[in-house]
Structure 1
Amino acid sequence: MATVILLRHARSSANGSGVLAGRKAGVGLDDTGQGQAKALTDRLAAVPLARVVRSPLERCEQTLAPLLAARELTAHVEPDLSEVDYGEWTGRELKALLDEPLWKVVQQHPSAAVFPSGEGLAAVQARAVAAIRAHDAAVTAEHGAHAVWLACTHGDVIKAVLADALGQHLDSFQRIVVDPCSVSVIRYTEVRPFVLRVNDNGGDLRGIVPPPPAPATEDGATPADSAAAGPATPLSSDAVIGGSTGAS
């Protein structure tokens, strides 16, 4: 399967003001966020992108704008990667929510949390994971298992997808930190995902790009066809015993 870069949108005006933006319209990037978005072009320069997918919300569109312009790409808009529908909590200050009984549930038992007139976090995880896996399968079918693609979405959505990839219960997802404009990277395989990066805020990302397929030998086989010949190949479902040797 392919490799997906989960990009949280750059810092928004709501992030800087302590407001739970949710799906509220008109929430764009602040000055810091605009700078973060522009920096993505250089940061991802060494990473070929077979597909770009985004949440429908404005802050994700603005985050990707410089990158898409530089690559001459367009993004697939995926409604199932939209922000959590926080219902009646949308637009409220976070400090005002601390005394709500639901706040403790969101923090300690998020799988049971359902926002008033909104959606539950378990439903968010189900829709987001299904969307990521569907796009990953489509990218793999079209471009091969060595392809890399990018999905720009929201903090709680990414945390929920990472929890699934890590084999964690959703009740543990609050232990994961996902900053604005950070990247987290998952490589799916037939039997398990591998989490390559979490909350990465800087540095060279070329190490996440899988090496090109090995050329076939005279009998038509590739080195990856002989599992007994050595350790797991980069796209194998097997973990490397003793730990990874790192990118070459």
Structure 2
Amino acid sequence: MATVLLVRHGRTAANTAGVLAGRTAGVRLDAVGRTQAARAGARLAGVPLAAVVSSPLERCRQTARALVAAHDPAPAVTVDAALTECDYGRWQGRALADLASEPLWSVVQTQPSAAVFPDGESLPAMQARAVAAVRRHDAAVEAAHGPGAVWVAVSHGDVLKAVLADALGMHLDLFQRITVGPASVSVVRYGRHRPDVVATNTDAGDLSWLAAAAPVGDAPVGGGAGHAPAAG
């Protein structure tokens, strides 16, 4: 399959205030978040992007625009509601410090597969629709551009953690062990036998080697030689 870059949106004021923004409209990147998104875009400047798909929420669409800004021509950004933030229901807009005192908080931390947000979405439902969307877009990109194609999915922290947990073969109850920071880039390649999780939660470093990404084959016994180092 193609290579998908899972990119979380940059930092927002809600993040720094400790507020669960959820699907609240108008939550935009703050100054640090804009810098983070621009840095992620610079890391991808030398990588031909076959497609960029974003959550419809503004903070993700801002990040997606920063990712394509260094490309000429810039690939179009497609919006897919299946990549949107989890529906936190009545938790949305509340302070994390207050939510931590509620019984559901412990469920979210220790048994996410049983977590259903009041008047909102369950974490298993969120994972199912996000994983299905990523795999659907991945197959479409490969069909249109070949197995060496690279594309980007821009989404949210819990959503991307759930997608990575699926790719790693982890039960959803373990997904809190994964960290996905603002504007971080994780790299997944869906192969014939299994997904290949190349990198998680990276916020620095050269990614130009992705321009020559090869189709996923059998896992190299012993670890293999890795990708070619950057020129210069």
| TM-score bin, normalised by smaller chain | over 0.9
- Partners of 1:67 and 1:168 in 2: how far apart? 29
Question: Which string of whole-angstrom CA distances, capped at 9 and with x for unpartnered residues, describes residues 189-225 of structure 1?
Answer: 12210000100010101233444xxxxxxxxxxxxxx
Q: The residue matched to 1:133 in structure 2 has which SS?
A: helix
- Using the TM superposition, give the Cα deviation of residue 172 of structure 1 relative to its aligned residue in structure 2, in angstroms: 0.4
- Partners of 2:79 and 2:19 in 1: how far apart? 25
Answer yes or no: is the 8 Å Cα contact 2:40–2:184 preserved in 1.
no
Match of 2:53 in 1: 53
Query: What stretches of structure 1 move > 3 A for 4+ residues in a row?
Result: 208-211
Question: Which string of whole-angstrom CA distances, capped at 9 and with x for unpartnered residues, describes residues 70-127 of structure 1?
Answer: 3222211010000000000000000001110000000000011000000000001100
Question: 59-68 or 178-187, which moves further after superposition?
Answer: 59-68
* 1:73-222 matches, cutoff 5 A: 73-211=75-213
1:65 aligns with 2:65: yes
What TM-score results when the alignment is normalised by the length of structure 2? 0.94
Match of 2:222 in 1: 242
Q: The residue matched to 2:7 in structure 1 has which SS?
A: strand
Q: The residue matched to 2:70 in structure 1 has which SS?
A: helix
Q: Which runs of 5+ in 1 are unaligned?
A: 212-233
Give aligned-pair identity as a percent.
Answer: 59
What TM-score results when the alignment is normalised by the length of structure 1? 0.88
CA RMSD, 1 decimal: 1.1
Question: Which string of whole-angstrom CA distances, capped at 9 and with x for unpartnered residues, describes residues 147-204 of structure 1?
Answer: 0000100000000000000000000000000000001110011221000010001010
- Partners of 2:66 and 2:210 in 1: how far apart? 22
Q: Which has the higher contact order (CA 8 A, sep 6+)?
A: 2
Question: 183-192 or 124-133, which moves further after superposition?
Answer: 183-192
Q: Which runs of 5+ in 2 are unaligned?
A: none
- Partners of 1:26 and 1:236 in 2: how far apart? 39
Answer yes or no: is the 8 Å Cα contact 2:190–2:216 preserved in 1.
no
Match of 1:11 in 2: 11
Q: Which amino acid aligns with 2:221?
A: I
Q: Which amino acid aligns with 1:100?
A: E
Structure number, greater radius of gyration: 1
- Partners of 1:114 and 1:87 in 2: how far apart? 9
- 129 and 117 in structure 1: CA distance in 2 versus 1, 3 angstrom threshold: same
Q: The residue matched to 2:90 in structure 1 has which SS?
A: helix
Q: The residue matched to 1:70 in structure 2 has which SS?
A: coil
- Partners of 1:208 and 1:193 in 2: how far apart? 16
Answer yes or no: is the 8 Å Cα contact 1:53–1:78 preserved in 2.
yes
Q: The residue matched to 2:117 in structure 1 has which SS?
A: coil
